[in-house]
Amino acid sequence: MTPPRLDTILHGPPGLIVHVGAGADGPGALARSARTAILIEPDPQLAARLRGACASLPSVRLIEAAVARETGMGCITASDVLTEDDFAGGGETVLLIDATDDSLEALDAMDAAGWLERFDHVIVAVREAARDAGSTARTDIEAWARAQGRLMLALPGQSDPDLWRAWISPANRAAHARGSTDGVPAPAARADELEAALATYRAAARDAEARWLEQRSALLRELRASQMRCGELEAGGELDAVRREAAEAEARNRKLREELQAELEASKARGLELARAREQAETARAKAEKELQSARKDAGDTGREQAAHRDETARLQERVRAGAERERALSAQIKAAREDLRLAITGQRLAQASLSELQARYGALLDDRNELDGLLRQLTDRLTSAANARLGADRKGAQTDWDH
């Protein structure tokens, strides 16, 4: 937003100027004549440009930070910005706040530190509507000023109607010093309060008048330039050509207006046709809604039947699933039984093979036994014969011995 014309606001020489959100230009040429100018800019690039522009000005102090109630990342308090020495030395004091999104926080920080009421002029740039949830709107500044008991005058910007300039009257120091009786301000305090408000309104009026005079001068310069151009055209004979072109343009515009009027009449006729078509469409829509309601009712009955069919189908599917489970279980049992039968047949075959082998061995053993029995009978016969022969020999020998 364009900075206010401080030279038209101040009654005397500038003393202390504090510019929060100074941007790339700061308070401009007024910083050269001010006793002390404090420029506050948190943006590093803008602060670098300010530093280069104010390097030769000993009265200018640049602070690269934001003003807040508490010190934090990139933030400092108002007590770190100002001291009592800054207000000493005379001259009018001005506080400019151009940080539109954080203007309320800067105001609150200055007020919390006790510096706000020390300024003769407090001017705040603020948006008509907040850009996001954390931004400040003009109504927020008005509510804050009302809660602080301060008067506020807001004027819309000329280049951007969304940007406003708010003039806030400082707190009435004299009223605080004198106090009040039973909650009613003393007459002197009330007079000081009204005087401070009047000074604020006068300052705002002077700034608005200065801007109006600048615009008036620019418009007068444009008017003189236009008049001079018309004189040059008339002297060179070009004005008649311009007038003819203007007449032709007027004729074209008249013809265009007639065509537009005819088109407007045709549009009205089409509008009437569309209105009738709309009525017919509304009637058709009402009829369709009735049919739809009837269809929905029929669909409700059908839906209940479908629900019963779905339940029956679900029960059948459940029975099919149970049958499939039983079938899988029986298949597993049949498979296991087949495996057991295969093992039993294999065992039986092995047992039959072993039995055949045992029968063969038993037959061989019977044959050996029969052969052994035959040999035993032969041996018995031989032994019997031998025993008999021996017995006969023994008897014959005994007889002989007896005879002798």
What is the per-residue pLDDT across 167-186, written as a single tens digit (0 to 9) for each? 787 654 434 444 444 444 45
Task: Compare 352 and 205 and report the one with higher pLDDT.
Answer: 352
Q: What pLDDT shows up at residue 108?
A: 86
281 occurs within a structural domain: no
Please indicate, yes or no, whether the overall pTM of this predicted structure exceeds 0.95: no
CATH number at residue 41: 3.40.50.150
Is residue 199 scored above 80 in pLDDT?
no
282 occurs within a structural domain: no
Lowest-confidence range among 7-16, 35-44, 305-314? Answer: 7-16
pLDDT of 216-237, one tens digit each? Answer: 777 778 777 877 777 776 676 6
380 occurs within a structural domain: no
pLDDT, average across residues 121-134? 80
Q: Quickly state the pLDDT bin for 403 (edges 50, 70, 90).
A: low
Q: What pLDDT shows up at residue 288?
A: 83
284 occurs within a structural domain: no
Q: What pLDDT shows up at residue 89?
A: 81
Rounded to the nearest 10 degrees, the angle between the axes of helix 138-148 and helix 103-112 is 20
> What token pair was written down for 120?
């003769």
For residue 39, the enclosing domain spans 6-179+188-207
% of residues, the chain, pLDDT over 70: 79
Integer Cα distance of 228 and 234 in angstroms: 10
pLDDT, average across residues 289-302? 80
Integer Cα distance of 392 and 122 in angstroms: 173
pLDDT, average across residues 286-308? 81
Integer Cα distance of 242 and 152 in angstroms: 52
Query: Could you count the other beta carbons within 10 Å of the beta carbon of residue 202?
Result: 13
- Count of domains for the chain: 1
Integer Cα distance of 146 and 149 in angstroms: 5
Integer Cα distance of 23 and 36 in angstroms: 18
Q: Quickly state the pLDDT bin for 11 (edges 50, 70, 90).
A: low
Closest CA to 8 of 249, 241, 209, 216: 209
401 occurs within a structural domain: no
CB contact at 8 A, 15 and 92? yes
pLDDT, average across residues 289-301? 80
Is residue 299 scored above 50 in pLDDT?
yes
pLDDT, average across residues 310-317? 87
Lowest-confidence range among 2-16, 34-48, 166-180, 191-205? Answer: 166-180
Q: What pLDDT shows up at residue 231?
A: 72
pLDDT, average across residues 305-314? 84
Q: What pLDDT shows up at residue 191?
A: 55
Integer Cα distance of 91 and 36 in angstroms: 10
202 occurs within a structural domain: yes
Is residue 190 scored above 60 in pLDDT?
no
Is residue 3 scored above 70 in pLDDT?
no
Element (H, E) at 172: none
Q: Quickly state the pLDDT bin for 194 (edges 50, 70, 90).
A: low
93 occurs within a structural domain: yes
Lowest-confidence range among 47-56, 161-170, 253-262? Answer: 161-170
pLDDT, average across residues 30-35? 75
Using CA atoms, how far residue 156 sits from 97, 122, 197, 255, 382, in Å, is 16, 16, 19, 41, 160
94 occurs within a structural domain: yes
Query: Could you count the other beta carbons within 10 Å of the beta carbon of residue 111?
Result: 18
Whose tokens are 């009205």? That residue is 268
